[in-house]
Amino acid sequence: MSTPAFFHFDSGCVRFWVEVDGIELGASVSREALHHRYQAHAVDDEPLATYHRHIPELQAAVHRRLALGSRPPVLLREADLRELPSAA
């Protein structure tokens, strides 16, 4: 990725890009969604640091949303970040 992720203070979201078919598509995830999914018991979590620790999972969530018909930029919601049941 040539465009680095960053925390956008005005929206309270981490903005990032995911490569799909050679094209960078915009996405974002709120500080609250990251906190509730990954740092629910923390009081000093940093959204951008949390994003960096979970890039593959967040990118996979964007790909799932796109496969379901979402158009960029994709805003990930808490429901998009819930753990998927493992295949039996």
- Residue-wise pLDDT for 54-86, tens only, equals 999 999 999 999 999 999 999 999 999 986 555
pLDDT above 50 for 88 = no
pLDDT above 80 for 2 = no
pLDDT at 1: 52
The CATH class given to the 6-81 domain equals alpha beta
Burial environment of residue 38 by CB neighbours within 10 A (0 to 12, 13 to 18, 19 or more): middle
Q: CA-CA distance, 42 to 76, in Å (whole number)?
A: 21
- Residue-wise pLDDT for 29-54, tens only, equals 999 999 999 988 888 889 999 999 99
